[in-house]
Homo-oligomer: A and B are copies of this chain.
């Protein structure tokens, strides 16, 4: 007794159990890193696919919109998390997951971490200026100590980056 067929959709292979689990794994992963779930879906499916997939493959298999897929691929390209596969004679471009952790981490740091650290740096500079404008000496000393602490925190955060690269790389 077949259920009502989905009206007029092209027949699309459901994700296998394994694919579903991997996709979900990466959805969670990228969410933790502050990125939209669709990016994780796309990367996850590419990661567990034995052959490169086109944008249209992703749309059909994941059931997401063309817009999401396009935007998600743009993000992944920016991170260096996908590579275009050479497919002679095939027009449509196909992607595969980049699986070099060092490169992935590098991309993430460059695109998502560095900008925040840099703008934080700037803001600390402005904080010191704001502190200098304080008239009361005792207050100014307290504020100065706190902002200096903040500056130290930012410095340590920057120290983490190469260290991360080291642990993750190779």
- A sample of 16 more A-B contacts (CB under 8 A), given A21-B123, A156-B168, is A17-B133, A18-B131, A18-B134, A22-B127, A24-B123, A25-B120, A25-B127, A28-B119, A32-B34, A48-B146, A50-B142, A101-B152, A101-B156, A159-B167, A160-B164, A160-B168
A126: interface (CB < 8 Å): yes
Closest chain B CB from A47 CB (angstroms)? 6
Mask for A28-42, Cβ within 8 A of B = 1, else 0?
Answer: 110010100000000
- 10 sample A-B contacts, Cβ–Cβ < 8 Å, listed by A number: A21-B130, A22-B127, A29-B120, A32-B34, A47-B146, A48-B146, A99-B149, A156-B167, A160-B164, A163-B167
Closest chain B CB from A17 CB (angstroms)? 6
Q: Is chain A's interface secondary structure helix, strand, loop, or mixed overall?
A: helix
